[in-house]
Structure 1
């Protein structure tokens, strides 16, 4: 299995398949994705909960183990803020994922309430995490440092992003992830300041992957967009069956192509 760094060498821009359960991950792999990344939002929804570390890390681990059992491509885990406020516990949680066979994580620099942590504090976490992973022979484990500047701040978003990204790059991160960053001039400014792969997330106004690839974006993910679309489809079909008293619409799809495990 290739490492995420190797995938970056092979691909000008990796398109991540954001899965929320074994079935979605299996489908995405068979459709051609070469990297699966969990969407914590989608995983939580699939278990009946909202996002934001409401489910326990142990519950999350069960989903991760099940996904790993059905795919043969790298898996990066959206570990939110680490499922703890304690640095040692965060590092232990990430190390647990590495030992399971995961290839990387998204780790965000905000709290569950989307309040930014002090940048120096998060950079020290990254340094310690990188050191412990390397000493445990997980040098290829990919740390995608997510900064929530465009979620938490109303002003100085770009300036704070540039400062944090530069600091995180020096602290051992392998990639930078900035959700809700959509202005292409902002993206270009960030790209001019970092050498690490930049991960941009799909939004209604930023859907053209080829365009982003041309300006230098190295990774593109769609977060909970697909899981939301699937939930919406279930809602629509459920309402239709009850209102029409007819299941005809459930048979209008084409043949299923996914090969399930036996």
Structure 2
């Protein structure tokens, strides 16, 4: 295992979760790196929306790869959201993952949610994980199940056998977005022999509370991208209303310097 891969694995400590903020372009990744975050992920919604494409329909493989090429130049560990692998061919998924690993990417998210609102056949997801494990053994494979995210009935009964199967197939961690009930989070953390990743949600348990439940990683998902959109609109509205924008905004020179170096201005 490379030093960077080992460092990324070491960030996943149940009880002391790493906050993984998610970038959608080089500037957002540079800002997060400059702020001192040791690792940055990508958000598939942010990448898709920024490119005028829908999320979750395997339409952004090229955009995602180009973003990874940019982010790995920053002084930060990078993990990439590859949706469902941008293919239902396990060998193609493994090939794409291997290309990311060759860039210096240390991890991927691989999900089982489908664009029609259903969950993929778990055997197919297992085959993808096994193929990635064989083709890119250094990558941290974070296997995601969307039982809660898609609002399906009986999500725990659907999710638990899946994440256990994904772990047996070689997943390094499991990601269960949408779950924030403390008792359920604790059950999942105790029931799966792998670092548990959950999503930061407004109104949900804070980072420290999730740590006490056994969580090892908390991702922001599309939250930062959506917050940036809201802030842009608020700023435009303030200028239209004759109100000074937030004086704490980075300057033009700050952004130039941060983007060039990845350091805090």
Give me the TM-score of the superposition, normalised by structure 1: 0.88
SS at match of 1:249: coil
Contact 1:107 1:145 in 2 (8 A): yes
Contact 2:58 2:83 in 1 (8 A): no
Deviates more, 1:76-85 or 1:151-160: 151-160
Q: Residues 4-15 of structure 1 correspond to what in structure 2 (within 5 A)?
A: 4-8=8-12, 12-15=16-19
Aligned twin of 1:20: 24
Answering whether residue 184 of structure 2 is matched by residue 178 of structure 1, we say no
Distance 1:102 1:237, change over 3 A: same
Separation of aligned partners in 2, 1:7 and 1:154: 31
Separation of aligned partners in 1, 2:128 and 2:33: 32
Match 2:190 to one of 187, 192, 202: 192
Separation of aligned partners in 2, 1:36 and 1:133: 20
Match 1:66 to one of 64, 70, 92: 70
Aligned-residue offset at 1:54: 6.1
Query: What is the CA deviation profile of residues 155-180 of structure 1, one whole-angstrom value per residue up to 9, with x for unaligned ones?
Result: 22112211111111111000000010
Separation of aligned partners in 1, 2:188 and 2:246: 47
Aligned twin of 1:86: 89
Match 2:129 to one of 126, 131, 144: 126
Contact 1:81 1:112 in 2 (8 A): no
Q: Residues 79-118 of structure 1 correspond to what in structure 2 (within 5 A)?
A: 79-118=82-121
SS at match of 1:2: helix
Aligned-residue offset at 1:154: 2.8
Aligned pairs, number: 253
SS at match of 2:143: strand
Contact 1:41 1:224 in 2 (8 A): yes
Contact 2:15 2:213 in 1 (8 A): no
Match 2:43 to one of 39, 42, 45: 39
Contact 1:127 1:172 in 2 (8 A): yes
Separation of aligned partners in 1, 2:15 and 2:36: 13
Which structure exhibits the higher relative contact order, with contacts defined as CA atoms closer than 8 Å and separated by 6 or more residues? 2
Separation of aligned partners in 1, 2:244 and 2:55: 31
Aligned twin of 1:229: 227
Match 1:249 to one of 216, 240, 244: 244
- Listed as ranges, the gaps of 5+ residues in structure 1 are 135-139
- Listed as ranges, the gaps of 5+ residues in structure 2 are none
Aligned-residue offset at 1:216: 0.6
Give me the TM-score of the superposition, normalised by structure 2: 0.87
Please identify runs of 4+ aligned residues in structure 1 that moved more than 3 A.
53-56, 254-259
Q: Alpha carbon RMSD of aligned pairs, Å?
A: 2.1
Separation of aligned partners in 2, 1:188 and 1:9: 15
Contact 2:174 2:196 in 1 (8 A): yes
